Structure 1
Amino acid sequence: MNPPITAVERVRAAYARIEQVDRPEVWIGLRPQAEAEQDAAAVDAKVAAGLRLPLAGTVFAVKGNIDVAGLPTTAGCPAYAYRPEADAPAVARLRSAGAVVLGTTNLDQFATGLVGTRSPYGAVRNAIDPQYVSGGSSSGSAVSVALGIADFALGTDTAGSGRVPAAFNGIVGLKPTIGLVPTEGVVPACASLDCVTVLARTLPEAERVLSHLASPSGRQLPALEQRRPGPWRIAVPEPEQLGELDKGWAEAFRAAADRLDQAGAELLPIDLEPFTQAAASLYEGAFVAERYTAVGAFIDEHVGSADLDPTVSAIITRARDIPAHRLYADTEKLASLRIRALASLNDADALLLPTTPGHPTLAEVAADPLGANTRLGRFTNSTNLFDLAAVAVPAGEVNGLPFGVMLIGPAFTDERLARIAGLLTAPPLRLAVVGAHLSGQPLNGQLLALGGRLVSTTTTADTYRLYALNTVPAKPGLVRAREGGRTIEAEVWQLPAEGLGALLASLPRPMALGSVELADGTFVPGFLCEPQALEGAHEITAYGGWRAALAALPRAEDPPR
């Protein structure tokens, strides 16, 4: 086994990769390598001294609208640049955990865009095919991760700016509940909607980073309704409600929904109209005025400057003249749409959507910058308007390019969404049960609560013996026998990998998880019994199963003697 990489070694590997890929448009403020190595050496020294730094040996990139001490915060506009005296809290927390900052990354100017091309520092090209856009506005952050330069990166997401580039570059984008991660030290786009997001190559990596960012002093955690036991319930819109998608995308989306179904989730219909109506209102309505509040005065003072992206400045300056009464009207309409949207979700645990309707080329965006951008926000724009959480994950490829989907749910269901997203990124596991976890038995609810689904009713191979253990209440114990065995009634359940892990962690002795041979000769993980527990137990093999044995007993708590 190789020793863990040191922070200094990781920094050197990152700068070697930067030189190798030759993507200068990714960066706005790349730190000198010697400076980053100095930080890394300090991390290694602390680790050697016994200090626990959970992110030691990792490097990260920071979107250029988030403060990093010692680097200019530009928000993608050179004339706007200022030098912060301190890191934004999100950056400081990651540094405290041992991660080393590589630099600040390019973005759609003032975080206004979903394409990654609206920047005087250059268009950020897609990590897989440079003819295509990288997605924005967290373009440089996403590409730095996708190219293997950074282990993870910080972005922001007001209308999809973290999720869209994650989808286009085949990585994970976590958009947390508003307020879960502090936004101090972040140049606002729409301050009431802004989120700091995490971009990483895998879901576990993204979750680990988010755990260091989440703020206990943020919004008060509400009392969420207890979900009904049973498999995950996923709302999936009908194809006609998705509108026009790029060629092959409808099939890819259906395949993602099918994977959730095969993993044990229950797919439910949903009316997507309130979501798409709200998405259109983000830029077409009065809510865009909040962008003028953030940087409008600066733009007015720099009209005609080469530092201003013309598309961005036009969007923000138009918002200056929106009348106040329209904001009230749009707010009232949004409240009505939100009620409809949440009612449409009903008791679904999450809504599954394609992250975007398609993936444009650089040339297509240049030909229609507003139209292309508007299309990309069809599914992402409404999330923060409705105060929802979201996670974007890879879900295959279409024509050689990444295809991504989102899972969206109510505020503070971030962990739940990640668990469901794991069904798309990790195959489900099977489990054989023969006793109290059988359908209708007292512990079956544990399987349902963990997202389990009954796959088949079968029997074991004819090499097992079953015992009623000397416990109160009685529990069955299954053991493999060299002789005297027979087939035992069994059920095979399918669980998410993390569900099986949780079940194993809570498994009381003398039960153990082992390999159980089924009647068809296949082997499946299942519940077995430690041999020492058989002392004082009564053999019930002849009944052919636990349920048959219980039916023959006067009371379940009285094992036969």
Structure 2
Amino acid sequence: MTTLPPEPEYIPLPPPSAHERARTAFERIAKADRPASWVALRTMDEVLVDAKTVDERVRAGETLSLAGVVCTVDDRYGSPPGSAVSRLTAAGAVLLGTTVFDPECAVIGLGIADLALTTSAREISAPADVISLKPTPGLVPRTGVRESISVSARTLATAQRAVAAMLGPDGLDPDVREWPPDVRLGAGHRPRLGVPDAASLPLPARRAFDVAAASLEASGAVLVPVDASAVSPAGSAAAARTLLADLDALLLPTVGFAESTLNDLDLAAATVPGQRRPYGITVVTRAFEDQIGIDLASVLTGEKCPDPYPAEAVDVVVFGAHLCGQPLHDELRGARFGGLVRTSERYRLVLLSDVTPPQPGLVTGTTGIDGERWRLSPATFDRFADRLAAPFALNRVELEDGSTPLAVVCDPAAATGGESLDRYASWRGYLRFVSTAGPRFPR
């Protein structure tokens, strides 16, 4: 018998405040002792005042997507900072100053900054522990900036939140672009990736590239050999569009091409470090399919980004033949998987007669039913709704968490007399049963 007291319950430490992170940045600046890296370093007092303001805003209840993120800009930016930097600081970022153009992003690699705005007038590189996003040209306003904007950060999530904070018209840049209504939000569970011949690469680069390609293939991607010359400086936007027409993304070794080339070709990119420095992996996508590139990059980093963009989308819950891998799932092409869900105990599934392909209908009842949530862009949702044929319709259902998203439900009259599937709790559960007990679909 022991008389020792029970272990205390673990209480996670709160994240460091913006003030603490800013002070740490100056300590690391002093330790690094690289004065030549800075074009204009703000004084500690100035930065700490800004950081304190961020902490006060958070305590007052504001939700700041970049609260306390320490950032820098490189010297190819205009002065004073334009819309992009203003939007970052409005979202809670704290600006340290302006650095010398640095393709290795030393301020991030040394732990000085969490985030750096860089220009696209550079050769893409992949320093250790640094992730870069090159957004679709025009999504981020260029007001006050000499070049198109890219973002480097310690994590994919930080880089994505930074890009999201800078998006949208500012009323000053006439060339700014917005997300099209039919933008694809996801590449599906079997994305097609173009893979160029890596034979001419240095051996370490080729090994890093092969490891990344194998990781993506293991996650479900289909690797398609391609001629990647269309995304070289000699390529054209039309050739790049043709190359990517039948692909979800292009996987490239991060050596020897400039971000400005991708801008000229109207492409987006996400770059992650490889297993062998300084060789990394760049995922290239069509314009406005930035999120697809980020999703593929996250497979390589092992990091999940909780806040995908664009924000304007419609959630739909499905329960039958529209589930992933089922016969009608292609009607959700371009949608983004939003997770597994379960309804409150107010519904039931019924096996329908005279419906092709065989599928169930969701009607009111006394059981919780498992389904999938999918996020659709506005135009994709409109197409999906237009193609939904009787006896199916869209209506709101109550989930066990109390939310009420739109879902594919069934006309109760069409379910009259159909076999109840209550004991299976889901369409997949029923399919597993018939795969072992023999088909029981209506004749």
Provide the rounded CA distance (Å) in 1 between the counterparts of 2:281 and 2:207: 12
Provide the rounded CA distance (Å) in 2 between the counterparts of 1:543 and 1:389: 40
1:149 aligned partner, one-letter code: I
How many pairs were matched up? 345
State the SS of the aligned residue for 1:406: strand
Are 1:405 and 2:270 an aligned pair? no
Q: Is residue 135–residue 269 contact of structure 2 (8 Å, CA) maintained in 1?
A: yes
2:262 aligned partner, one-letter code: T
Deviation of 1:156 after TM superposition, in Å, equals 0.9
Q: Is residue 170–residue 403 contact of structure 1 (8 Å, CA) maintained in 2?
A: no
State the SS of the aligned residue for 2:232: helix
1:74-120 CA-partner distances (Å, limit 9, x unpaired):
xxxxxxxxxx4x4311111111112111111011xxxxxxxx5xxxx
Instruction: Report the RMSD for the aligned CA atoms in angstroms.
Output: 3.7
Are 1:273 and 2:273 an aligned pair? no
Look up the match of 2:130. Answer: 171
Deviation of 1:262 after TM superposition, in Å, equals 0.5
Deviation of 1:380 after TM superposition, in Å, equals 4.7
Q: Is residue 170–residue 402 contact of structure 1 (8 Å, CA) maintained in 2?
A: no
Within a 5 Å distance, the mapping from 1:529-540 to structure 2 comes to none
1:542-561 CA-partner distances (Å, limit 9, x unpaired):
99714466822536xxxxxx
State the SS of the aligned residue for 1:472: strand
Look up the match of 1:382. Answer: 261
Within a 5 Å distance, the mapping from 1:13-28 to structure 2 comes to 13-28=24-39
State the SS of the aligned residue for 2:251: strand
Look up the match of 1:554. Answer: 442
Are 1:254 and 2:210 an aligned pair? yes
1:133-188 CA-partner distances (Å, limit 9, x unpaired):
xxx3xx5xx1111111111111111353xx32xx02431111111111111212x3
From 125, 135, 141, give the equivalent of 1:182: 141
Provide the rounded CA distance (Å) in 2 between the counterparts of 1:510 and 1:252: 44
1:88 to 1:448, Cα distance in 2 relative to 1, 3 A: closer
State the SS of the aligned residue for 1:471: strand
Look up the match of 1:219. Answer: 177
Provide the rounded CA distance (Å) in 1 between the counterparts of 2:282 and 2:89: 29
Look up the match of 2:114. Answer: 151
* Structure 2 unaligned residues grouped into runs of 5+: 1-11, 171-175, 305-318, 338-346, 353-359, 362-371, 376-396, 402-419
Q: Which 10-residue stretch deviates more, 25-34 or 439-448?
A: 439-448
Q: Is residue 10–residue 59 contact of structure 1 (8 Å, CA) maintained in 2?
A: yes
Provide the rounded CA distance (Å) in 2 between the counterparts of 1:228 and 1:59: 32
1:258 to 1:35, Cα distance in 2 relative to 1, 3 A: same
Q: Is residue 156–residue 303 contact of structure 2 (8 Å, CA) maintained in 1?
A: no
1:419-445 CA-partner distances (Å, limit 9, x unpaired):
1211211289xxxxx986585556698
Q: Give the fraction of aligned pairs with identical amino acids, expressed as a percent.
A: 34
Provide the rounded CA distance (Å) in 1 between the counterparts of 2:286 and 2:52: 42
Provide the rounded CA distance (Å) in 2 between the counterparts of 1:3 and 1:413: 35
Provide the rounded CA distance (Å) in 1 between the counterparts of 2:90 and 2:209: 39
Deviation of 1:44 after TM superposition, in Å, equals 2.0
Deviation of 1:222 after TM superposition, in Å, equals 4.2
* Structure 1 unaligned residues grouped into runs of 5+: 68-83, 108-115, 117-135, 189-193, 279-333, 357-375, 429-433, 452-468, 477-499, 513-535, 556-561
Deviation of 1:225 after TM superposition, in Å, equals 7.3
1:501 to 1:471, Cα distance in 2 relative to 1, 3 A: closer
Provide the rounded CA distance (Å) in 2 between the counterparts of 1:50 and 1:542: 47
1:154 aligned partner, one-letter code: L
1:214-265 CA-partner distances (Å, limit 9, x unpaired):
124522444657688651111001224xx3x233211211111111100101
Are 1:199 and 2:152 an aligned pair? yes
Look up the match of 1:93. Answer: 87
Provide the rounded CA distance (Å) in 1 between the counterparts of 2:178 and 2:60: 37
1:394 aligned partner, one-letter code: P
Provide the rounded CA distance (Å) in 2 between the counterparts of 1:96 and 1:543: 51
State the SS of the aligned residue for 1:3: coil
Provide the rounded CA distance (Å) in 2 between the counterparts of 1:170 and 1:30: 23
Look up the match of 1:34. Answer: 45
Whose helix proportion is higher, 1 or 2?
Answer: 1
1:353-385 CA-partner distances (Å, limit 9, x unpaired):
0111xxxxxxxxxxxxxxxxxxx33x6553122
Within a 5 Å distance, the mapping from 1:37-116 to structure 2 comes to 37-67=48-78, 84=79, 86-107=80-101, 116=102
1:47 aligned partner, one-letter code: V
1:283-320 CA-partner distances (Å, limit 9, x unpaired):
xxxxxxxxxxxxxxxxxxxxxxxxxxxxxxxxxxxxxx
Deviation of 1:207 after TM superposition, in Å, equals 0.4
2:294 aligned partner, one-letter code: A
State the SS of the aligned residue for 1:268: strand
Q: Is residue 195–residue 251 contact of structure 2 (8 Å, CA) maintained in 1?
A: yes
2:85 aligned partner, one-letter code: V
1:539 to 1:89, Cα distance in 2 relative to 1, 3 A: closer
Look up the match of 1:11. Answer: 22
1:265 aligned partner, one-letter code: A
Q: Which 10-residue stretch deviates more, 252-261 or 46-55?
A: 46-55
Provide the rounded CA distance (Å) in 1 between the counterparts of 2:166 and 2:94: 15
Deviation of 1:472 after TM superposition, in Å, equals 3.2
Q: Is residue 131–residue 155 contact of structure 2 (8 Å, CA) maintained in 1?
A: yes
Whose strand proportion is higher, 1 or 2?
Answer: 2
Provide the rounded CA distance (Å) in 2 between the counterparts of 1:50 and 1:406: 38
Provide the rounded CA distance (Å) in 1 between the counterparts of 2:271 and 2:57: 35
Provide the rounded CA distance (Å) in 2 between the counterparts of 1:551 and 1:440: 16
Deviation of 1:269 after TM superposition, in Å, equals 1.8
2:211 aligned partner, one-letter code: A
1:314-371 CA-partner distances (Å, limit 9, x unpaired):
xxxxxxxxxxxxxxxxxxxx6xx33233222232011110111xxxxxxxxxxxxxxx
State the SS of the aligned residue for 2:350: coil
Look up the match of 2:298. Answer: 422
1:354 to 1:228, Cα distance in 2 relative to 1, 3 A: closer
Provide the rounded CA distance (Å) in 1 between the counterparts of 2:373 and 2:209: 28
Provide the rounded CA distance (Å) in 2 between the counterparts of 1:40 and 1:554: 66
